[in-house]
Homo-oligomer: A and B are copies of this chain.
Amino acid sequence: MAQTQGNRRERPAKPALSRAGIITTAVGLVRAEGLDRVTMRRLAQALDTGPASLYVYVRNTAELHAAVLDELLGGIARPPEGGTWRERLIKILLSYVGILFEYPGLAQSALVARPSGPGYLTLLEALLALLDEGGVPRDRAAWAVDLLLQFGTATAAEHTTRNQTAAAQDRARPVAEGPDEHDALRVALRAAGAQGRPHLAAAAGELLSGTGAERLTWGFHVLINGTVHTARQPAVPSNDL
Contacts and interface: CB of A to CB of B under 8 A. Distances in A.
A22 interface: no
Contacts of A229: 225-226, 228-229
A223 interface: yes
Contact of A154 (B60, B154, B184): B154
A202 interface: yes
B226 A138 contact: no
Contact of A112 (B153, B161, B192): B161
Contacts of A227: 222, 226
Contact of A221 (B59, B209, B241): B241
Interface string A148-182: 00110111011001100010000000010000011
A119 to B, nearest CB: 11
Interface residues of A, number: 70
Chain A interface helix/strand/loop/mixed = helix
A151 B125 CA distance: 23
A44 interface: no
Interface stretch (A7-15, A27-35, A93-101, A139-147): A139-147
B218 A143 contact: yes
Contacts of A184: 114, 116
A121 B228 CA distance: 32
A124 interface: yes
A7 B227 CA distance: 66
A224 interface: yes
B147 A114 contact: no
Interface string A171-211: 00001000001101101110010010111101100110110
23 contacts: A108-B108, A112-B161, A114-B181, A114-B184, A116-B188, A122-B197, A125-B197, A125-B198, A125-B200, A128-B203, A132-B199, A139-B209, A142-B207, A143-B206, A146-B215, A147-B219, A150-B151, A150-B154, A153-B154, A218-B230, A224-B226, A226-B226, A226-B229
